[in-house]
A = this chain, B = another copy of it.
Amino acid sequence: MKNRIITISREFGSGGRTIGKKVAEELKIPCYDSELIGKIAKESGFNTEYIKECDEYGSGGYLSFLSNRAFGLNNEDYLWNVQCKIITEIAEKESCVIVGRCADYILRETADCLKVFIHADMAFRAARIVNVYGERAQSPEQRIKDKDKRRAAYHRFYTNMKWGRAQNYDLTLNSGTLGIDACVKIVKELY
């Protein structure tokens, strides 16, 4: 039988990562999130700091992955290929939760996925990121807008699918109105 994978895409600050971790804990399966960065680092030879900075958001501004291709693949393309390979291998190995990194798209034809998208309104997310990540010079609203813009552009570039379009997922949840715990419960039940 195929492994069963839960992929979680999420707006920044919506609690998608927390939901993924809790679901995985309760189902007693692994959750891949920051673990992926270590694996990508090991496979690619880049250091983890560079990957964190570069991967998913683009390194030099959120449109960097649209340029620098005059001589073929750029660093982001190379990391994308490594990421595809690692995510595919993980899905072949075991049932698990994978947070972010376009796993839903990467696994679209090879794995049995429950594709989830988590979002919430700006006020909920702004309060949450200050709580979880602390204050920064930039306002929480601006940080959220920046990150979402990068994620959407990155996602669109590599998948040619619109980020946040309900039809791309099995399930989308507003963690702000439903609450993190209710989201965990629903995802777990559908697994």
Task: State the A residues within 8 Å of B (CB).
Answer: 11, 117, 119, 164-167, 169-174, 177-178, 182, 185-186, 189-190
A182:B172 contact, CB within 8 angstroms: no
Q: Which residues of B contact A182 (CB under 8 A)?
A: 190
Q: Distance in Å from the Cβ of A112 to the closest Cβ of chain B?
A: 10
A178:B170 contact, CB within 8 angstroms: yes
B167:A169 contact, CB within 8 angstroms: no
Q: Distance in Å from the Cβ of A181 to the closest Cβ of chain B?
A: 12
Q: Which residues of B contact A165 (CB under 8 A)?
A: 164-166
A119:B167 contact, CB within 8 angstroms: yes
**Listed A/B pairs (30) with beta-carbon separation below 8 Å:** A11-B167, A117-B166, A119-B166, A119-B167, A164-B165, A164-B166, A164-B167, A165-B165, A165-B166, A166-B166, A166-B169, A166-B172, A167-B174, A169-B172, A169-B174, A170-B173, A170-B174, A170-B177, A171-B171, A171-B172, A171-B173, A171-B174, A171-B178, A172-B172, A178-B190, A182-B190, A185-B189, A186-B186, A186-B189, A186-B190
A173 to B167, CA, bound (A): 9
Q: Distance in Å from the Cβ of A3 to the closest Cβ of chain B?
A: 17
